[in-house]
Amino acid sequence: MNKVCLIGRFTAKPELRYVNGDVAVVKFKLAVNRKFNSQDGQREADFINCVAWRKTADLIAKYFDKGNQIGLEGHIQTGSYEAEDGTKRYTTDVVVDEFSFVESKTEKENNSTPYDYEEPVEEQEDDPFADFGESVSIAEELDDNFLE
């Protein structure tokens, strides 16, 4: 099985190109945080090369920019080519099969994530019904038959 799931941020704006005149392709690099910090306490990331084709490439190029967060599913594809100096180079890319928007445009503009929001807590008085006049004891109003 060859399946990859990633959540990361674009390191640059994805650039759309066309192969054979009409097949859309976009290559981009994602910064994906590691689960642990380095020995000096710094958060580390892996930079992963990704590629998307056709309609997926069009959508990624249209809706994402540098720093935007994306969730994607895909598969690893390896390849090789001969460099200008005659040496053989090897490549490893994640080919995007599906993607998801991880943050909304307003969250990105506000520089926050959905998990950063905290509901404001209002301080509560000791007696929330103090403004309504005399206090009422519910037990006094109930008759003995109701409690049985």
**pTM of the model as a whole:** 0.66
CATH number of 4-122: 2.40.50.140
pLDDT tens-digit profile of 9-37? 999 999 999 999 899 999 999 999 988 88
pLDDT tens-digit profile of 54-92? 999 999 999 999 999 999 999 999 999 999 999 999 999
Q: What is the pLDDT of residue 94?
A: 97
Q: What is the pLDDT of residue 85?
A: 94
- Give residue limits of the domains in the chain: 4-122
SS (H, E, C) the chain: CCCEEEEEEECCCCEEEEECCCEEEEEEEEEEEEEEECCCCCEEEEEEEEEEEHHHHHHHHHHCCCCCEEEEEEEEEEEEEECCCCCEEEEEEEEEEEEEECCCHHHHHCCCCCCCCCCCCCCCCCCCCHHHCCCCCHHHHCCHHHHC
